[in-house]
Amino acid sequence: MKKIIFILAASLCLSASLFAQQPKIAWPDYKFETVKANPITSVKNQASSGTCWAFSTIGFLESEVIRINGIKDEAKYPDLSEFFVVSHSYLDRADKYIRLDGNLTFGAGSEADDVLDVIRDYGIVPNAAMTGMNYGTELPRQSELDAVLRAYVGAVVRNPNNTLSTAWKRGFKAILDEYLGKWPETFTVDGKTYTPESYRDALKINPDDYVSLTSFTHHPFYTKFAIEICDNWRWDTAYNVTVDELIQALDAALNAGYTAAWGADVSDAGFTRDGLGIWVDTQATAAAGSDQAHWVGVDNSNQPIVQPVEKETTQETRQIDFDNKTMTDDHGMQIFGIAKDQWGKKYYMVKNSWGITGKYDGIWYVSEAYVRAQTIDLVFHKDAVPAAIKAKLGIR
C-alpha cells in the first residue's frame, strides 16, 4: 500500500517485524469473550511480500464460499491462490503503467477491489494449483521479484525508440512465470477438471455482488468515488457513507453471518504486534494510571488494571487525518467477528496475514474506536449492507 519501501519490496503490509519502533505502552491483561464469530479459513503468512491486499481479500472470499455454499466441514474449506491473483494484477498494472508513460505507482501493494477485478476477468484457482513459491523459499520473499519488475517496466517506459516492441509484455510475463509459476489452464479438484473461470463459477463467486464502502467528506455522501490512494491503481470506486453508517453496516454484516475485507492504517502505536488494535490516547492513559497509583498508594503504571483511554473520532477528525496523510492505506485484513473484553467493551475479531503469531495466534482484537478512526474502506457482499443504506446508495 502507500508506505512501500521498494528496496525491501515491502510496506507495513509485510509483517509485524518491519514496523517502526512504537512507543512503549503497558497493556492490561485482556480477557476476550466471543460474541459473534463467522467461519474463516486458516491464518496464512504473507511473510516478506507486500500482498496483504491479496491475502485478506482471498480470505474474505473463502469465507464467502463457505457461507454461500453452506460448507460445514472444515476439511472442505476452500484454499484459493493468492499469487494467481498477484501475478495477473502485476501484468495488468504493468500494461497500465506503460500506457500512462510511467505516471502510475508501480509496486507490490494494491487493494481489495483489485482481487475482485482479477477474479471477474480471469477466474481463480486453488492454492495447490499455483502456490506462487517458485523461487526457492518456503514463504514469500518478494524483494528481488519486485525490484526486477520495477526495473523492467522502467526500462520499457524509457524506450528511446518511441515505438514499443512486441516482446515487452511477453518478457514481463516470463519473469512472473519463473518467480510465481505459470497460470494453470486446467486443474483437477475432487476428481473434476476446471478452468480458472469455471472454478470461479462453481464456487459461486460473483465479483459484481460486492461493494466497497468508505467515509470521507471531500466527496458528497451517497455518491461513488475512487479513493485517492496510490494502491487504488485501477481507480476502483467506493460508496461514500457517514462513519456511523460505516460501523452500522459492519455490525449488521457480522451479525448476519457475513465478513468484510478491511483496508486500514495500522501504523498507530495502538496496533500492536501482539494481537491488539486500540485507538489509545497515550497521554490520557498515562495520566489515569498515575491517578490510580496516587489514590491506592501503589505504582501500577507498568501493569494497569483498567482499560486504556481511547481517543475520540469524529467525521471531521477522520478527514483531517486523511488529508494530512496521518491515515493511509497501510494494510489489508479480514474482519470476521465481534468480541467483548472483561469491561464489556466491543472489539472486532480480525484475521491477519502475519502467520500464527501474537497472543491470539494470528487473530487481532481491534476496538470499535480504532476501526472508526483508521478505516480506509470495507468490502461487503451487497446483501450484507442494511436496506436503508442500500436505498441511499441505489444498490440493488
Residue 2 within a domain:
no
Boundaries of domain holding 184: 16-393
Reported confidence tier of residue 277, pLDDT bands at 50, 70, 90 = very high
Residue 306 within a domain:
yes
Q: CATH number for the domain including 387?
A: 3.90.70.10
Question: Residue 181's pLDDT is what?
Answer: 98
- Per residue in 20-57, pLDDT tens? 444 567 789 999 999 999 999 999 999 999 999 999 99
Residue 96 within a domain:
yes
**C-alpha dihedral over 141, 274, 42, 175, to 10 degrees?**
-10
- Per residue in 231-240, pLDDT tens? 999 999 999 9
CA distance 26 to 278: 12
Indicate whether 292 pLDDT > 50. no
Residue recorded with cell 474502506: 377
Residue 174 within a domain:
yes
Residue 7 within a domain:
no
Average pLDDT over residues 203-220: 98
Residue 166 within a domain:
yes
Residues contacting 206, CB < 8 A, separation 6+: none
In the chain, the amino acid numbered 157 is V
Least confident of 67-76, 246-255, 275-284, 322-331: 275-284
Residue 269 within a domain:
yes
Question: Residue 288's pLDDT is what?
Answer: 62
Indicate whether 170 pLDDT > 90. yes
Q: Is the dihedral of CA 202, 89, 370, 303 positive or negative?
A: positive
Residue 5 within a domain:
no
Indicate whether 199 pLDDT > 80. yes
pTM for this one? 0.91
Indicate whether 378 pLDDT > 80. yes
Q: Please give the tally of structural domains in the chain.
A: 1
Q: Give the Å distances, CA to CA, from 174 to 156, 169, 199, 240, 320.
A: 15, 9, 25, 40, 44
Indicate whether 1 pLDDT > 60. no
Average pLDDT over residues 204-210: 98
3-state secondary structure the chain: CCCCECCCCECCCCCHHHCCCCCCCCCCCCCCEEEEECCCCCCCECCECCCHHHHHHHHHHHHHHHHHHCCCCHHHCCCECHHHHHHHHHHHHHHHHHHCCCCCCCCCCCCHHHHHHHHHHHCCCEHHHCCCCCCCCCCCECHHHHHHHHHHHHHHHCCCCCCCCCCHHHHHHHHHHHHHCCCCCCEEECCEEECHHHHHHHHCCCHHHEEEEECCCCCCCCCEEECCCCCCCCCCEEEECCHHHHHHHHHHHHHCCCCEEEEECCCCCCECCCCEECCECHHHHHHHHHHHHHHHCCCCCCCCCCCCCECCCCHHHHHHHHHCCCCCCCEEEEEEEEEECCCCCEEEEEECCECCCCCCCCEEEEEHHHHHHHEEEEEEEHHHCCHHHHHHHCCC
- Per residue in 59-103, pLDDT tens? 999 999 999 999 999 999 999 999 999 999 999 999 999 999 999
Average pLDDT over residues 115-119: 98
Indicate whether 151 pLDDT > 80. yes
**Quick count: other Cβ atoms within 10 Å of Cβ 63?**
25
Question: Residue 15's pLDDT is what?
Answer: 44
Residue recorded with cell 514499443: 164
